[in-house]
Amino acid sequence: MLESGDLIFVRENTEMGQAIQASTGNYSHVAIFLDGQIYHATVEGGVLSQSSEDFFEAEKVYDLYRYAEIDCTEVKKRAKCHLGAPYNASFYPDGDGFYCSQFIAELLPIFETIPMKFGNDDWEISDFWSEYYRELGFPVPLNQPGTNPSQLAASPLLVCKERNLHDSDF
């Protein structure tokens, strides 16, 4: 089912996942499958590659997308170049390292940046993000140029292959 070049979009119920989804849409994480490994940027490990067994988790839901014109060899070369880069926890465009969608947009330079959102229908900046940035010691980068997983998935250049997959499907 997984093919090299597939983009894996994730929905999750963690506090951070819910805050991202409330602010941006359906997804809280994105990764790419290349030659048997999943490459992504994580809070815990920065940019890394993992086996499918280590990546997929029971509590999460996954959708697979495809960019028809992907050059997997070139994208894998770029992905490997960034292994070990730190996680960009500030989400600022000039922050060190990468957050997940920023990493994918670096590998596949087909996505535009958009003004970043940190609120929901009720608040421009949600309580979660206010607290998150207070602890980081940074102002919330509201409307700074960035990306998010839901925005990448909405690209007309991507085709959805499969929806609502669970760890047991892989």
What secondary structure does DSSP assign to 42-96, as a single string? ETTTEEEEE-HHHH--TT-EEEEEEETT--HHHHHHHHHHHTTPPB-TT--TTSS
Please report the pLDDT score of residue 121 as a whole number: 79
Please report the pLDDT score of residue 11 as a whole number: 97
Q: Is the pLDDT of residue 157 over 90?
A: yes
Please report the pLDDT score of residue 1 as a whole number: 84
Q: Give Dmax over CA atoms of the chain in angstroms.
A: 44
- Cβ neighbors of 163 (< 8 A, separation 6 or more) are 63, 64
* Average pLDDT, rounded, for the chain: 96
Q: Is the pLDDT of residue 15 over 90?
A: yes
What are 93-132's pLDDT values in tens digits? 999 999 999 999 999 999 999 999 999 878 899 999 999 9
The domain made up of 6-163 is a member of CATH 3.30.930.10: no
- Cβ neighbors of 33 (< 8 A, separation 6 or more) are 2, 3, 4, 5, 6, 7, 8, 39, 52
Mean pLDDT of 50-76: 97
Please report the pLDDT score of residue 22 as a whole number: 95
Please report the pLDDT score of residue 39 as a whole number: 98
Please report the pLDDT score of residue 100 as a whole number: 98
Q: Is the pLDDT of residue 16 over 90?
A: yes
**Burial (Cβ within 10 Å: 0-12, 13-18, ≥19) of residue 107:** buried
Please report the pLDDT score of residue 120 as a whole number: 83
Domain regions of the chain by residue span = 6-163
What secondary structure does DSSP assign to 23-49, as a single string? HHSS-SEEEEEETTEEEEEETTTEEEE
